Each structure stands twice: as C-alpha cells, then as structure tokens.
A and B are shown apart, each in its own frame.
Chain A
Amino acid sequence: MAETMLKVEGINVYYGKIHALKDVSFEVNTGEIVALIGANGAGKSTTLKTVSGMMHPKSGSIHFMGEDITHTESYRLLPKGLAHVPEGRRVFLQMTVQENLEMGAYIQKKISDEDLENVYKHFPRLKERRKQIAGTLSGGEQQMLAMGRAMMSHPRIVMLDEPSMGLAPILVDQIFDIVRELHAAGTTVLLVEQNASKALALADRAYVLETGRITLAGTGAELMSSEQVKKAYLGG
C-alpha cells in the first residue's frame, strides 16, 4: 500500500452563501493518477482551488505529505511540491513564452537550461515561439505552455483542471500522452476532466463529484463499467 500524498477530509467550501463543496473527502497516493469527474458546476475546479490554497474550506482538513495545509497560503504550496494548472490555463498573456516558463521556475534559485530544454523537448512548438507573447498563442499552445510551466518546478503532484478543454482530438491525445509521460517520470497526478472515458482509462482511481458531493469512488475500470457513470458521463 503506497503512502498517502494528499488527504482531503470532509471539506466544506462556500462562495458567499453558495455551498459549493459538501463534506468532500478523497485521497491521492504517491505515484497514482487519480481522476475527478463530474458535470458542469459539480465542484471540480473548486476542489482543486481549495487544495492549492486559492480558497479555504470552512471546515474539514487537507493534508499534503503529512502536513496540514488547510489554511496555508497559496504561494507556499508550490515549494512543497504541489502544482496546480488551473482552469482556463491562466498563462501570463502579456509575457513571452519563455518568461512564462521562467515564472514556473520562480521558486528555483536559478532557472536551469536543462529544465527549459526538457519542456521544449515535450513541446517543440513552444520552442519555436519562445520569444512570442503568450497572448498570441492558440488555445492548444497555451495549454501546452501551462503544463510546461508546471513542469518547470518539478512538482511531486500536479493537479490538472480540464487540460483537454476546447482542444482538437489530436491535441487531446497529445495532452494525455504528456500526462502519461509526467506520471512515468514520477509525478503524481490529480486530473479533472470532462472527457470521462479518456480520464477513466488513464486513471488508477477516480471519484465522481455531483453537486458538491462525492457520490462514487473506485478504480478507473470499476467506474467505467458502472451503470451510473455510463449513463451520466460516458454517453450511454
């Protein structure tokens, strides 16, 4: 049994009066790929934002590597090894591709050329455009940049919020390949996806989130064959 890397216990999260997460508990073990699936508005992004300290729960707790991070400020989490590629990519649109990657390595003392080359090896398109302002990249390229930026800090775990959103099928495959490679290189992955079939096929384990509650949990294969999941997320 692998050790628990991320342990979320009974968190309740609010946007003002909106109760977005209700007693949500789940865990991610070292070396796993865990998927979080659910319909629009289920609370997937809220879950990731709460783990990465962009929001804080009213009750419940979050532990990362055994440390209580429930109320830790967001900027202190990347140095601990927790990276979050947020919904909508959030690359710095007015900065160049290379500067975006440098920001990914902000916590490093020095930006290593090796790390930059590693990202460019995965995403040759970014290399060609490294002097270009990120705002001029296509959506797919921005997604690559967001993932490359997260790779720069060598996180223990990377949380990806709908990395395939709005991308052409061929790019979706490419993004999933990168997730696989990241994982093979030793990174633990927490993946939020609309594309449930692909996510479940990739994941060791998965959770289903419905209107702020976790309603199902199991291995990727188990959930794929579950009637409830088939109906709601796999189109039949």
Chain B
Amino acid sequence: MIHFLQTLISGLSLGSIYALIALGYTMVYGIAKMLNFAHGDIIMVGAYAAIVAVFQMKLPGLVAVLAAVLVCTVLGVTVEFLAYKPLRQSPPLTVLITAIGVSYFLQNIALLIFGSEQMASPVIMKLPALVIGGVQIDGITWGTLAVTCIIMLGLTLFINKTKMGKAMRAVSEDKGAAELMGISVNKTITITFAIGSALAAIASIFYGSAYVYIRPTTGAMPGIKAFTAAVFGGIGSIPGAMLGGILLGVIEQFAKAYISTLWSDAIVFGVLVVVLIVKPTGLLGKKISEKV
C-alpha cells in the first residue's frame, strides 16, 4: 500500500512536469494552429540557463529560476518572430518542418557552447522530505507538485477571467472575428509563446532537479512525452493538457514500478494509441470544426 501511494505521488509529480510542458504545446496549437516541435528544446535551454546562473554566475536559486524563465521567454518569442511568423500563410507541413529545424538548431547551439558531455543541474529547491502515514515524499517531489498546481490554477484563472485570457480564447476559436473585435492576432500569438516558454523554463528547473544530468538532447524525451500528453488530453484544450500530463506521469511511474522499467515508455505510448482509437480528439478535446 505504501509502495502504491509512493508511486502515485511520484507519478503525480512527474506528471505535473509533463503538464507544464504540455500546456506550451497545447496553447500554441490552440492559438497559432501549429505544432511547435522545438518546444522540448526550450526545456534544455532553461536547464542550461539554470546551470550557468548557479554554477558560473553564482546567483542564488530563486534568481536563477527567474533567469531561466527570462532566457526561455525571450528565446520562445524570438523563435516565433524569426522562424514562424514569416510562415503564417504557409501550409502546416512547412511550419512543422521549420519547427523541427529550429529544434536541431537549438540542440546544435547547445552542443557548440556546452559540448556533448552531460552537466549536473543545480538543486534549486532544498525542501525537507515529508512523511505522511508512513509514506515518505521527497522534497523535490512535493515541491514540484505544489508549485505546478499553483501555476496551473493561476493559468486557468488567467485564461477564464482576464481580458487577455478571454482574448486568447477568442483568437483560438476564430482569428478573423477576433481581429474584428480589435484583438491583434500577432500580439496574442507572441504572448502565447511567451507564456508557453516561461512554463517550459519552470518545468526545466524541476526536470533538472529530478533527473540531474543535462545534455543538448535533454529536451527531446520530456518534449515528446509532453506532446503525447497534450494529444492524450485533447490538443488545444488547457485542462486537457493538465489532465493528460498528470495521467501520463502516473501511468509511467506505475508501469516502471509494477511492470518494467524497460517497457514503461512503450506502455505509455500504447495507452495513448488506445485512447486515440477510442476517442480521436483526446480525453477533453473538442470536436474540431474545420473552418479555414
């Protein structure tokens, strides 16, 4: 029983990291109708930013987090401006290939700067372990869960209650009509990339704390899993990304604990395939109304 609960909690924690990353995929998809395959690499950049901030610039932990958020946000917005904005009228395949190109570009820049050797991540949050009813929860595990829950709550409020959040929903539904309301679609897309990249930066801190070692290709695996989570929950849906991410993390940890470490990823993707066969739009996905 204790083992079960421990697995569940570590699954929730890992899943909440996936959820943070999945939110970036799903929001960008919802607003800009594109799959930003370079999103995973933003995590890698955030992790390196934290390494540089803590180990080379000797900045305190919290400042390093802010630095990582700043670097990722600026990077995300810049990539959007330089690589994707000129392709606004291009076919989706062109944009997709560009995103893959951006992904390789970022990985190779990291390779040039940091080399291919893995580097250790700083431990930013030093929290005491909690013991509840015999279940021991690491500081990083509950810390991750707590912070991501607050962020997701904040994001939900932002999207549903604020003027900007509502404008984002309007743009995701109908760009032309949103522009007729005086909403700048370009500005909204920029803000979406900024938010998605900032969330990825925070995810990168937790990911670095949990997995410790960072290399230029670090972003690929959490990236692809978070993308899976976004599709799993229903791409374009914000609650869907949260749910999909958390479920994915839980399934992964249970598969590792009870079935096989080797097969856990295969099981995760297997579940995705089954869900998509049963419900092609994902768990919370809306019917896609084809309208161009």
Q: What residues make up the interface of A, taking CB atoms closer than 8 Å to B?
A: 52-54, 73-76, 78-79, 83-84, 86, 90-95, 99, 102-104, 106-107, 149, 153
Q: Is B129 an interface residue (CB 8 A)?
A: no
Q: Is B85 an interface residue (CB 8 A)?
A: no
Asked if B170 and A54 sit within 8 Å, CB to CB, the answer is no
Minimum CB–CB distance from A18 to chain B (whole Å) comes to: 16
User: Of B4-12, B50-58, B172-180, B253-261, which stretch is located at the interface?
Assistant: B172-180
* Sample of 23 A–B contacts (CB below 8 Å): A52-B180, A54-B179, A73-B184, A74-B179, A75-B179, A75-B184, A76-B182, A78-B180, A78-B181, A86-B177, A86-B180, A90-B177, A91-B177, A92-B169, A92-B173, A93-B173, A103-B167, A103-B170, A103-B183, A106-B163, A106-B181, A107-B181, A107-B182
- A residues near B170, Cβ cutoff 8 Å: 92, 95, 103
Interface pair B182/A78, CB less than 8 Å apart:
yes
Q: How far is the CB of A134 from chain B (nearest CB, A)?
A: 10
Q: B166 contacts the other chain (Cβ, under 8 Å)?
A: yes
- Given known A90-B176, A94-B286, A103-B178, contact A75–B183 (CB-CB < 8 A): yes
- The verdict on B235 contacting chain A, using a C-beta distance below 8 Å, is no
Residues of B within 8 A of A52 (CB): 180
Residue with the highest number of chain B CB atoms closer than 10 Å, among A74, A76, A83, A94: A74
Q: Chain B's nearest CB lies how many Å from the CB of A48?
A: 10
A180 to B225 alpha-carbon distance, docked (Å): 57
Which 8 pairs between the two chains have the least Cβ-Cβ distance? A90-B177, A74-B179, A78-B182, A107-B182, A75-B179, A75-B184, A106-B181, A103-B181
Known: A75-B185, A86-B180, A102-B166. 18 other contacts (CB 8 A): A52-B180, A54-B180, A74-B179, A75-B180, A75-B181, A78-B182, A83-B180, A90-B177, A91-B177, A92-B177, A95-B170, A95-B173, A99-B166, A102-B163, A104-B181, A106-B183, A107-B181, A107-B182
Which residues of B have CB within 8 Å of A83? 180
Chain A residue numbers with a CB within 8 Å of B166 are 95, 99, 102-103
Are B174 and A73 in contact, with the CB atoms below 8 A? Answer: no
Kindly state the separation between the CA atoms of A194 and B176 in the bound complex, as whole angstroms. 23
Question: Measured between alpha carbons, how far is A43 from B233 in the docked complex, in Å?
Answer: 42
The CA of A78 and the CA of B177, in the complex, are separated in Å by 12
Min CB–CB distance B288 → chain A (angstroms) = 12
Q: Complex Cα distance A95/B177, Å?
A: 13
Give chain B nearest CB distance to A76 CB in angstroms: 8
Provide the bound-state CA to CA distance between A91 and B169, in Å: 12
Taking CB atoms, residues of chain B closer than 8 Å to A104 are: 181
Residues of chain A within 8 A of B179, CB atoms compared: 53-54, 73-75
Contacts of A107 in B (CB 8 A): 181-182
**Is there contact, CB below 8 Å, between A106 and B167?**
yes
Per the bound structure, the CA–CA distance linking A95 and B21 in Å amounts to 25
B176→A86 contact, CB < 8 A: yes
One digit per residue, 1 when the CB lies within 8 angstroms of any chain A CB and 0 when it does not, for chain B 64-100 equals: 0000000000000000000000000000000000000
